[in-house]
Structure 1
Amino acid sequence: MSKRDPKPEVLRLEELALLVKSGDIKLPRFQRPFVWRKTDMLKLLDSIYKGYPIGSLLLWNSSQRLKSERDIAGLKVSDEPTLYPTSYLLDGQQRLTTLCGALFWEGGALNSMWNIHFDLESEEFIHAKISDSVTTYPLNKLIDTTDFIQQCMKFSHHEKGRIFTGRAERLLRAIKDYKIAVVKIGDMSIEEVAPIFERINSTGRKLTIVDLMMAATWSNGFDLASEIQNIQESCIDLGFNGVSEPLILRSIAASADLGINKDDIQKLRNLSSVELSAASSKCRKAIISAINWMSVELPVRDASYLPYGLFFTYVVEFFRIADKPGVHQLAEIRTWFWFTSATLHFGGASTGDIARDLTNIRDFSTGARSQLFARGTIDISRLLYDKFSLKNASSTVFSLMLLSTQPSTTLSGKVISLEAAGEKNSKLFGRVATRGMGDINIGVVLDPFREQPNLNAEPDVLAEHLLNKECMGAVKNGDGDSFINERSSVISTVVERLTDCQTTYNFESIANGFLDLDKGESDEDL
């Protein structure tokens, strides 16, 4: 069958459900989880009972050995060895899962979503609230002939027994004989199938590089989904959150001595299960080391506070290679973090830039180079004067600078709990600037209570908030220009200390409209 010549067929619903149960139709791991609500399930069954159309299914007939679910709706599918080519379900998961769950449910909790009955009085599908009602028919007793006969016998002596039996028989025929269009596409690669899946998927969910690699790298000895989940759980156990699947996948690729751009990550498919397991193990160990270091040195306890996910990848790679890093190396990594953050270094990085930075971090980790960047003069205008929004990288950097001083109280004197600052949250920050200067970064302070600041706060309290008496005097006098000049000077001094660089800045060059261009790096950038 040509892959460009889809083959339509018409199959009975019972046949399709049995093919899922036997494992002849597989649900690939890159499918979304079952998300239908109970009402959605009941509406589907009602449509089938009434003979309404429920749409077609799409199957992919493929020789590729992809990770597929062995548990669908709590139903253990056959573990018989698969004969290839086999059929993967691309469209229709929610519908077939509903049917398999209802028809093959093995019993259990009364409130299970699969405990679906047909009300013989009203001819409606319901989620049963009692276990042994004479007037309802459990769908998991429908397909097997013996079960069907025994179930009908339960209401044979009921005054409406004949009516109930007739309705049960109608239900059986409706389910068993319902026909549905099934379109099969030929043996295409997973990259060719991806856009088809994306287009027909009712949610419009795009397949990510993680989805593709989870499917493409699966073997009997390796499960990428489980490896990533285990690493995420290790991070959470350390009190570090927000480490996404794409971040981990990129570090696994680096730990396999590959690059970290999309094309490089795709090369994971060429590795054996032994090589993939080894890379994942190295990655997990390096991530734990990187998290322990970041939690103390930056401090960062949530990946959302990293302006760019690329830094996470690079620091993990550093700890993978530099098993016992020296004091100088650790200090350089810390300085490099603040340099790349203050300069928005990774914003708009090309594949070439990413590859060069990866080479540099690897050379630095082995001792082949002593510095990660050349010291010089850096422009921090964006860091100072961008409009404050934690959706952009410059404000994320600024907020992290405010947190890095670990202030004990707000400017109004209230005690600050830094535990609440673990996840990036704009509600943790207030404004101290004068009116008319806009909501720009340097007008922001750490203040989850949003109270009027004490303009006569002690110098040590002001220093914890990266302010001085001159800043507060400008606020008191409503002098926006003086505040901008004074706090810019304070921040630039801190940045120079953190980056080992000289700084320059110019408010006038970006004052019109305040820049808000760099949104940082999202998982979709992978």
Structure 2
Amino acid sequence: MGFQTPQPTLSELLRRISRGEIQLPDFQRGYVWDEERIRSLLVTIAQGHPLGVVMTLQTGNDQVRFKPKPIEGTDLAQGAVEPTLLVLDGQQRLTSLSQALSGGGVVKTHDARKKVVERRFFIDIEQAVKDPRNLDAAVKSLPGDGMVRENFGKDVVLDVSTQEKQLEHGYFPVNLGYDDKGTAWLFEYADPEVSKAFLNAILTPMKSYAIPSIELDKQTSKEAVATVFEKVNQGGMKLTVFELLTAKFAGDADYYSAAGTDFRLKDDWAQTERVIRKHPVLESIEETEFLQAVMLLASHRGESATTARKDDILGLQLPDYRAWAGEVREAMAWVAHFLEDQHVHAARDVPYPPQLVALAALRVLMGEEIDVHGINARIRQWYWCGVLGELYSSSTESRLARDIDQVPEWARGAEGATVPRTVEDANFVESRLHSLKTRNAAAYKGIHALLMANGTKDWLHNQPFDRAHYRELAVDIHHVFPKAWCMKNEVDPELRESIVNKTPLARKTNQLVGGASPAEYMSKLDSRAQLSAAELDAIVAAHQIDVAALRTGSFAAFFTRRREALLGLVEAAMGKRAARDVDRDALGGGMESGDAFADEPDDPQDVEEAESTEAI
């Protein structure tokens, strides 16, 4: 590998970018800098301070054949040439400069609130001349049309949309700094002395500003380029594992020799995205999770230890990726159906997205055998131990590797098979039911799914909570004893917001429940559901609820009995007994006064209950 260290002027770089001589490898991420970073970059240029090295790669390399794409915002429709350099490091800086300093100078970016905006940058001439050493205040970021508005856009407080108005306010457009029009613009400025000072102190130095670069030559190997990608971008814009592998795979000489084209990881990922769109419950799976599943399989069948570590993924070879990626994609449809069987119907209800990585890898390793009744029962036990034992919340990469090594033989009932650590380590304690309050907890989502899977139906519609009805009825998890009622009766917030006082209900059912006492809303349900009291009681009882306690409005009796019933669901799913650690006498009737309002922030889904009306 050879390299040069030229220091081209910014003017030269802008010219070459506009002609297409300098482009990007097409796998590079999109432009993401916000307006303040762009403004700060322009201040650095105006002050003549260094902004860091740009690294490029000469095109025409026999080993590294990245497909080029123009730097964002560059129009190559006319006068374009073939690129001679590809930017490996410095994309965000060069994109910012080429957009802000070329053409109309309008940059498509985002503000501090992540709102997409168009910005144009100016230098306040008098302020810059007055104190050239402090240009930070002189460089201005304005709306793309050059008009600053207040009072919700009704009042224009600054207008520099035309040259006449720019001259009036003394706002020099930075995009003219690298254009012959810039000097002509200054000749029109009202104060010749200030204009001359600005030209000498600010504009001329900006035109001669040089950027140090490292230019890798055509002999650079794909291994060297991969190393470069791992080492550069150490700041806030560090490349992801997927982007690094994209670069590595694109330069695979053996694949190019056999296929006559580069391997494009982005195109392959597009196939995976099509599978995810068919199964929205998988929406949490992104590029890195997919690569982890592939890596688990490649390493499990390889000579080294099974791994899902992101650092190890960088060592994944293209032949191994191609051997397993298609199988992982096929397995993802099975994962979606597995989740549906567990009554996990939406991506927001997936307890642990990383556990889906393990499920996909297990489906590939075990094939159709994973659906044999006894084997599938153990797979379900392993899944629920991970969820209810809350074991995928830390050390995820290590747990993934252990599960792939341990679960298959154990699930098959092989002689001498080791019980997976995820099953062995899992435990559940009774008091955890008190602290499960929002979807932030995997076990909260898990119990929600277990309730739906246990033959429950909606109270008003008498419909099961399968995938179709879950979406059609807008099912969510809601209070049994309504929040408003609990607050009025000073129920301890720990008990009020606990999963014990929550159950899946359709939106309209929850609206009917409103904030009334269960003793009131059960009577209302009797007539609205057009069921006999006995039929309705059976539907409600399937939610692991003591109906007698509900109809009499007895929170204490309801809570203690349902807590025990939910523990039974947990134990059945995990295949092991939960620890009882709650003092039965401590509930004290289920209500405590004094701190009824001292609760943590409410889950957005819960707020609706306190505000909903009783009428549908």
Q: TM-score range by the shorter chain?
A: 0.5 to 0.7
**TM-score of the two chains, using structure 2 as the length reference:** 0.59
Note if contact 1:28-1:66 (Cα within 8 Å) is conserved in structure 2: no
Are the aligned partners of 1:381 and 1:507 in contact in 2 as well (CA < 8 Å)? Answer: yes
Partners of 2:568 and 2:140 in 1: how far apart?
72
Q: Map residues 123-162 of structure 1 onto 2, 5 A cutoff.
A: 127-128=144-145
**Equivalent in the alignment of 2:135:** none
- Give yes or no for contact 2:103–2:175 (8 Å, CA) kept in 1: yes
Question: CA-to-partner distance for each residue in 1:424-443, whole Å, 9 max, x for gaps?
Answer: xxx84336397235443323
Name the amino acid aligned to 1:380. Answer: F
Q: Deviations over 1:196-237 (max 9, x none)?
A: 744xx3x5x665544544444443633334433542343123
Residue 494 in structure 1 maps to residue 540 in structure 2: no
Give the counterpart letter for 1:57 in structure 2: G
| Equivalence for 1:419 | 471
The yes-or-no answer on 1:338 pairing with 2:384 is yes
Is structure 2 residue 285 aligned with structure 1 residue 243?
Answer: yes
Task: Give the CA deviation at 1:248.
Answer: 1.6
Deviation at 1:253, TM superposition (A): 2.0
Match for residue 532 of structure 2?
none
For 1:390-429, what aligned pairs fall within 5 Å after superposition? Answer: 390-405=439-454, 408-409=457-458, 418-419=470-471, 428-429=477-478
Instruction: Specify the code of the residue in structure 2 equivalent to 1:248.
Output: F
1:16 aligns to 2:13 (yes or no): yes
Q: CA deviation at 1:506?
A: 1.0
Q: Kindly provide the CA deviation profile for residues 128-180 of structure 1, in whole angstroms up to 9, marking residues without a partner as x.
A: 589x9775899889868xxx58x999x9xx999x99x9999999856532345
Counterpart in the other structure of 1:291: 336
Cα distance change of structure 1 residues 360 and 477 upon mapping to structure 2, 3 Å threshold: same
| Residues 1:177 and 2:219 are matched in the alignment | no
Secondary structure of 1:72's counterpart equals coil
Return the alpha-carbon distance in structure 1 between the equivalents of residues 576 and 377 of structure 2: 18
Do the aligned partners of residues 12 and 322 (structure 1) sit closer, same or farther apart at CA in structure 2, a change above 3 Å counting? Answer: same
8 Å CA contact 1:390, 1:396 repeated in 2: yes
Mapped to 2, the partners of 1:507 and 1:32 lie a distance apart of 53
2:531 corresponding residue in structure 1: none
1:84-131, CA deviations, whole angstroms, 9 ceiling, x for partnerless residues? xx76225xx44321222345559999999889698999998873589x
CA, structure 1 residues 152+189, in 2 after alignment: closer, same or farther (shift >3 Å)? closer
1:476 to 537, 549, 553: 553
Q: Is the 8 A contact 1:57 1:183 kept in 2?
A: no
Letter in 2 for 1:239: P
Distance 1:30 1:335 in 2: 42
Alignment match of 1:234 (pick from 275, 280, 295): 275
Percent identity reads 14
Instruction: Provide the rounded CA distance (Å) in 2 between the counterparts of 1:159 and 1:250.
Output: 61
Query: Cα gap change, 1:125/1:411 in structure 2, threshold over 3 Å: closer, same or farther?
Result: closer
Aligned residue number for residue 224 of structure 1: 265
Matched-pair contact (CA < 8 Å) for 1:250–1:260 = no
Q: Distance in 2 between matches of 1:485 and 1:159?
A: 82
Residue 96 of structure 1: aligned partner: 94
Structure 1 residue 386: deviation in Å? 3.3
**Which has the higher mean CA deviation after the structures are superposed, 117-126 or 10-19?**
117-126
Deviations 1:283-314 (A, max 9, x none): 222212322342x3122233443322342112
Alpha-carbon distance in 2 for matches of 1:124, 1:190: 39
Kindly provide the amino acid, as one letter, of the partner of residue 505 in structure 1: A
- What is the distance in 1 between the residues matched to 2:406 and 2:239? 31
Shift of 1:56: 1.0
| SS in structure 1 at match of 2:566 | helix
Q: RMSD of the TM alignment (CA)?
A: 5.8
Look up the match of 1:74. 73
Task: State how 1:104-119 maps to structure 2 within 5 Å.
Answer: none
Find the residue that maps to 1:504 and give its secondary structure: coil
**Matching residue of 2:518:** 454
Residue pair 1:247, 1:313 contacting (<8 A) in 2 also: yes
Q: Does the alignment pair 1:311 with 2:348? A: no
Q: Which amino acid aligns with 2:579?
A: Y
Match of 2:554, as an amino acid?
N
Structure 1 residues not aligned, in runs of 5+? 517-526
Query: Which blocks of at least 5 consecutive residues in structure 2 are unaligned?
Result: 110-115, 127-138, 148-160, 167-171, 252-260, 523-535, 588-599, 601-616
TM-score (norm 1): 0.67
